Structure 1
Amino acid sequence: MRHQYLLGVVAACLALPALALTGPHDLQFADGALAESLTGQPGDPAAGAKVMATRPLGNCVACHEIPPMADVPFQGDVGPSLAGVADRYSEAQLRGIVANAKMTFEGSVMPAFYKNSGYIRPGDGFTTNPAPADLQPILTAQEIEDVVAYLLTLKE
């Protein structure tokens, strides 16, 4: 009986569609854009809005004005307004900018939200407890897709 159950579980898992997941090391930028979804799953605009407005997550409102989020206080003006951003950039370009804006805008102060290595760490020599070589990305692959889905709703 137990053997049949395990065979059933294995068969069910094999029947599931494969979940594509692109890790930070696997990103293939083309002129700053990322054409392929990081997860193979569509993003959820409502979840993306939450990421953008939540301080421990993306907190995009700290630097950008996002007019549809007028109820979120303390919107920033460090980065450009995101009003009409979907009219200015394609989905692939937005994905690239959110994942690592420096691939599009070399001097950008926007953090790379989907990067885990390649940081310049001059402080490592001055601490007895340096950070590990690889860090966890700020956002998950699905959170990146959710933010992109929300940004695609921002049209003039």
Structure 2
Amino acid sequence: MRLSTLTLAATLVASGAFAAEPVAPADVVYTDGAIEASLSGTPGNPEEGAKAFASRSIGNCVACHEVTGLGAAFPGNVGPMLDGVGSRWSEAELRGIVANAKLMYEGTVMPSFYKVDGFIRPGNGYTGKAAETIEPILSAQQIEDVVAFLMTLKDE
């Protein structure tokens, strides 16, 4: 019986049935602005990342950035063009930039997509009342998906 229990446990671990818990925003470890470890413990999906990047209701990255061929209507020009970004920065650096660009680029206007504290008087959506809790703009998996998408944008 013990051997079959160990075999079952090994099979579940190998198949990913024991998925890692996402790293909480307050527990993220930054090294010079970069995040080495995955925030979700699950590889990012570039297709989902492209959707979050282009969606005005999820990441809204297109409000500031342009990617050639993405087909986003009214791409922004506040932030840099992101063509070739996967060749310029490592996965860890891109993860850090998306999670909290202010740790890598002081004074940037890019929002911190995976931050929940350190804000001054955060409000509760047009109610005039203070927010008791703040959720990150993107989930840990959405960060991984956007990073996976950005890693596909390589120089040719």
Normalising to structure 1: TM-score of the pair? 0.84
RMSD: 2.2
- 8 A contact 2:19–2:42 mirrored in 1: no
Please report how far the alpha carbon of residue 18 of structure 1 lies from its aligned counterpart in structure 2 after TM superposition. 3.9
Supply the distance in 2 between the matched residues of 1:138 and 1:18 (Cα, whole angstroms): 22
- Are 1:110 and 2:132 matched, yes or no? no
Residue 147 of structure 1 corresponds to 146
Supply the distance in 2 between the matched residues of 1:143 and 1:18 (Cα, whole angstroms): 16
Residue 81 of structure 2 corresponds to 81
Residue 43 of structure 1 corresponds to 44
Residue 99 of structure 2 corresponds to 99
Residue 65 of structure 2 corresponds to 64
Please report how far the alpha carbon of residue 130 of structure 1 lies from its aligned counterpart in structure 2 after TM superposition. 1.4
- 4+ aligned runs moved over 6 Å, structure 1: none
SS in structure 2 of the partner of residue 99 of structure 1: helix
Normalising to structure 2: TM-score of the pair? 0.84
Supply the distance in 1 between the matched residues of 2:122 and 2:149 (Cα, whole angstroms): 36
Larger mean CA deviation between 41-50 and 17-26 belongs to 17-26
- 8 A contact 2:102–2:112 mirrored in 1: yes
**Matched residue count:** 142
One-letter identity of the residue aligned with 1:141: A
- 8 A contact 2:121–2:130 mirrored in 1: no
Distance 1:122 1:43, change over 3 A: closer
Supply the distance in 1 between the matched residues of 2:84 and 2:150 (Cα, whole angstroms): 9
Supply the distance in 1 between the matched residues of 2:56 and 2:136 (Cα, whole angstroms): 15
Larger mean CA deviation between 113-122 and 142-151 belongs to 113-122
Supply the distance in 2 between the matched residues of 1:129 and 1:101 (Cα, whole angstroms): 28
Supply the distance in 2 between the matched residues of 1:83 and 1:154 (Cα, whole angstroms): 6
Please report how far the alpha carbon of residue 129 of structure 1 lies from its aligned counterpart in structure 2 after TM superposition. 1.9
Please report how far the alpha carbon of residue 53 of structure 1 lies from its aligned counterpart in structure 2 after TM superposition. 0.5
Supply the distance in 2 between the matched residues of 1:123 and 1:19 (Cα, whole angstroms): 32
Supply the distance in 2 between the matched residues of 1:120 and 1:128 (Cα, whole angstroms): 14
Please report how far the alpha carbon of residue 72 of structure 1 lies from its aligned counterpart in structure 2 after TM superposition. 1.2
Supply the distance in 2 between the matched residues of 1:41 and 1:18 (Cα, whole angstroms): 7
Larger mean CA deviation between 40-49 and 15-24 belongs to 15-24
Please report how far the alpha carbon of residue 68 of structure 1 lies from its aligned counterpart in structure 2 after TM superposition. 2.6
Please report how far the alpha carbon of residue 123 of structure 1 lies from its aligned counterpart in structure 2 after TM superposition. 7.4
Please report how far the alpha carbon of residue 25 of structure 1 lies from its aligned counterpart in structure 2 after TM superposition. 0.5
SS in structure 2 of the partner of residue 72 of structure 1: coil
